[in-house]
Amino acid sequence: MDLEAVKKYLEKKGETSSLVDGLPARFLEPLIMNALRVDLIEPGRVVCSMKIPPRLLNAGNSLHGGATAALVDVVGSAAIPSVGYSVSSTGVSVEINVSYLDAAYAHEEIEIEARALRVGKAIAVISVEFRKKKTGKIFAQGRHTKFLPTASKL
Amino acid sequence: MDLEAVKKYLEKKGETSSLVDGLPARFLEPLIMNALRVDLIEPGRVVCSMKIPPRLLNAGNSLHGGATAALVDVVGSAAIPSVGYSVSSTGVSVEINVSYLDAAYAHEEIEIEARALRVGKAIAVISVEFRKKKTGKIFAQGRHTKFLPTASKL
Amino acid sequence: MDLEAVKKYLEKKGETSSLVDGLPARFLEPLIMNALRVDLIEPGRVVCSMKIPPRLLNAGNSLHGGATAALVDVVGSAAIPSVGYSVSSTGVSVEINVSYLDAAYAHEEIEIEARALRVGKAIAVISVEFRKKKTGKIFAQGRHTKFLPTASKL
Amino acid sequence: MDLEAVKKYLEKKGETSSLVDGLPARFLEPLIMNALRVDLIEPGRVVCSMKIPPRLLNAGNSLHGGATAALVDVVGSAAIPSVGYSVSSTGVSVEINVSYLDAAYAHEEIEIEARALRVGKAIAVISVEFRKKKTGKIFAQGRHTKFLPTASKL
pLDDT of D90 reads: 81
Question: What does the alpha-carbon distance between residue A2 and residue B43 come to, in Å, rounded to a whole number?
Answer: 10
List all residues 6 or more positions away from D60 whose beta carbon is below 8 Å from its beta carbon. C92, D103
Q: Which residues pair with A144 in a beta bridge?
A: A96, A126
Query: Chain-wide mean pLDDT for chain A?
Result: 91
pLDDT tens-digit map of B10-53: 988 766 788 998 899 999 999 999 999 999 999 999 999 999 99
Question: What does the alpha-carbon distance between residue C53 and residue C128 come to, in Å, rounded to a whole number?
Answer: 20
D97 contacts in chain B (CB < 8 Å): 97, 143
Which residue numbers in chain B have pLDDT < 50? 151-154
Q: At what angle do helices D65-78 and C65-78 cross, to 10 degrees?
A: 160
Residue D120 touches partner A, C-beta closer than 8 Å = no
Closest D-chain CA to C75 = D10
pLDDT tens-digit map of D98-150: 999 999 999 999 999 999 999 998 999 999 999 999 999 999 999 999 999 86
pLDDT of C89 reads: 72
Categorize the per-residue pLDDT at A83 as very low, low, confident or very high, splitting at 50, 70 and 90.
confident
pLDDT of C112 reads: 98
Question: If we measure between CA atoms, which residue out of D107, D147, D142 comes closest to residue D127?
Answer: D142
The identity of residue B125, as a single letter, is: V
Question: If we measure between CA atoms, which residue out of B61, B79, B78 comes closest to residue B115?
Answer: B79
D120 contacts in chain A (CB < 8 Å): none
pLDDT of C88 reads: 65
| Distances A89 to A38, A86, B60, B102 between C-alpha atoms, Å | 20, 6, 10, 17
* Three-state DSSP state, D103: coil
Strand order in the sheet with C37-42: C37-42, C45-51, C109-119, C123-132, C138-147, C92-100, D92-100, D138-147, D123-132, D109-119, D45-51, D37-42
B97 contacts in chain C (CB < 8 Å): 97
Question: If we measure between CA atoms, which residue out of A144, A146, A105, A88 comes closest to residue A122?
Answer: A146
Categorize the per-residue pLDDT at D88 as very low, low, confident or very high, splitting at 50, 70 and 90.
low
Closest B-chain CA to D115 = B138
User: Residue A23 pLDDT > 70, yes or no?
Assistant: yes
Chain D residues 70-109 with a CB less than 8 Å from chain A = 94-95, 97
Q: What is the pTM of this model?
A: 0.95
8 A C-beta contact, residue C103 and residue D24? no
Q: Rounded mean pLDDT of C77-104?
A: 89
Residue D22 touches partner C, C-beta closer than 8 Å = no
pLDDT of D72 reads: 98
Residue of C8, C10, C130 to mutate, interface with D, max D Cβ within 10 Å: C10
